[in-house]
Amino acid sequence: MRRWRYWLAAGVVLAFGLVRVPLETAMESEWQRLYLRGPALDLGMREEIGQMSYVAALGGFRSLVASMLTLKAHIHWENTEYAQLGKTYDLVLGLQPRTASYWEEYGWHRGWNERSFYLNHPEMNEGLRRELAEEAGEAARVILDRGIRNNPDEYTLNLRQAELLRDKLNDYCGAAGYFAQAAALGGPAYARRFAAYMLARCEGKEEEALESLRALYLEGAEQRLPTLVTELGRLERELGVPEEERLVDGGANP
C-alpha cells in the first residue's frame, strides 16, 4: 500500500479535528446550559466510589452509578450508619446535582431520621443527644439550601425546606418564605395557605400575615379551611381589628 494514503488519512483526521473542535466546544457550552451535561467529575471521587464505578460514570453511566449508590445509602440508613450515609449521598449529589429527589431524600435522612436517631439514643446523655440532633437538623437545612441553589425551578425542595424549618427547627419566619417560594414555583395550593400560617407565627410579621389570610379567605369557600379560619380569627382579635371589619365572626364576613 502506498504510504501517502496513510499520511493523507492522518491529515484528514487532523483537519476534521480542527473544524470540529470549535463546534464541540460550542455544543458543550450549550449542553451545560441545558443541564444535559453534569459537572466535571472530581478525581477524588475515584477513591470513594471505586475504579469501576468511576470509569462507568465517565463512560456515560453516571445516572446508573448514582442510582446504585442510593441503594447503598438505603442500606446504610437501615443499619443507622449515618456517617457512611452522608458520604454516600455526597457522592450521589456530586454525580447528579440536578436530581431534586436526591437532595430531598438526603435532607429527609439528616433532618428527620438522623435527628430522631440521636434524640432517642438510649446510650447518650441529654446534652450530647440535643447537640447531635441540632447538628443533624442544621445539616439538613444546608443540604436543602444547596439543593435549591442547584434546582432553582423545583418547588418540592422549597416545600421540604419549609417543612423542616416548621416541624424540626421552629423557624416559622424562614418556613413562610420557603412555602411562599414553593407556591410561586407552581407548588400545591396548600403552600400559599401554609406561607400565611407560618407568617402568623412569625414575630413582627403579624400584620403581613393578617393581609395574606384575609386575601385567602376572600378567595372563597375552598380556602376557608378550619386552620385558616382559626388563625385569621386569632389574629383579628390579637391585632385589635374592629368587630365590624372582622371576617371571622364579625361584620365584614361576606
Partner 1 sequence: MGGSLGRIWVLAGATFTQLVRMKTFYFLLIFCALVALAGSLNIMAYNAEQQMKLVKDVSLGAMSLFASIFGIVATAMLIPRDMEDRTLYTILAKPVPRVEYLIGKLLGVLMVIGVSLAAMHLFFSGVLYARQEMLLADDMTMMADRVDLTEEDVQSYAERVREQGVTWNLVNATGAIFLKACVVTASAMVISTVATTSLFTIIVSVLVFFIGHVQALARTYWVDVEGGGVVAKLFSALVALVFPDYQLYNVIDGVVSGEWIPFGAMLKLVGLTAFYVGIYTVVAYLVFAEKEL
Nearest approach, Cβ of residue 33 and partner 1 (Å): 10
Stretch that binds partner 1, among 27-35, 128-136, 171-179, 234-242 (CB under 8 A): 27-35
Nearest approach, Cβ of residue 164 and partner 1 (Å): 17
Nearest partner of 89 among 169, 77, 79, 9, judged by Cα: 77
Q: Which three cell numbers stand for residue 135?
A: 447538628
Q: Does 34 bind partner 1 (CB under 8 A)?
A: yes
CB 198 within 8 A of CB 233: no
Q: Does 186 bind partner 1 (CB under 8 A)?
A: yes
Q: Does 43 bind partner 1 (CB under 8 A)?
A: no
What gap in Å lies between CA 111 and CA 119, rounded to an integer?
A: 12
Nearest approach, Cβ of residue 196 and partner 1 (Å): 14
Identify the residue among 87, 98, 129, 237 touching partner 1 (CB under 8 A).
98
Place of cell 504510504: 3
Q: What angle do CA 110, 166, 143 make, to 5 degrees?
A: 35
CB 108 within 8 A of CB 136: no
Burial of 239: CB neighbours in 10 Å, binned 0-12, 13-18, 19+: exposed
Instruction: Kindly tell me which of 1 and 83 has the beta carbon lying closer to partner 1.
Output: 1
Identify the residue among 53, 88, 96, 158 touching partner 1 (CB under 8 A).
96
What gap in Å lies between CA 18 and CA 69, rounded to an integer?
A: 39
What gap in Å lies between CA 62 and CA 65, rounded to an integer?
A: 5
What's the N-to-C CA distance of the chain in angstroms? 95
Instruction: Kindly tell me which of 105 and 171 has the beta carbon lying closer to partner 1.
Output: 105
Identify the residue among 16, 167, 184, 242 touching partner 1 (CB under 8 A).
16
Contacts with partner 1 by CB under 8 A lie at: 1-2, 5-6, 8-9, 12-14, 16-18, 20-21, 23-25, 27-28, 30-31, 34-38, 40, 55, 58-64, 66-67, 70-71, 74, 77, 96, 98-99, 101, 105, 186, 188-190, 222, 225
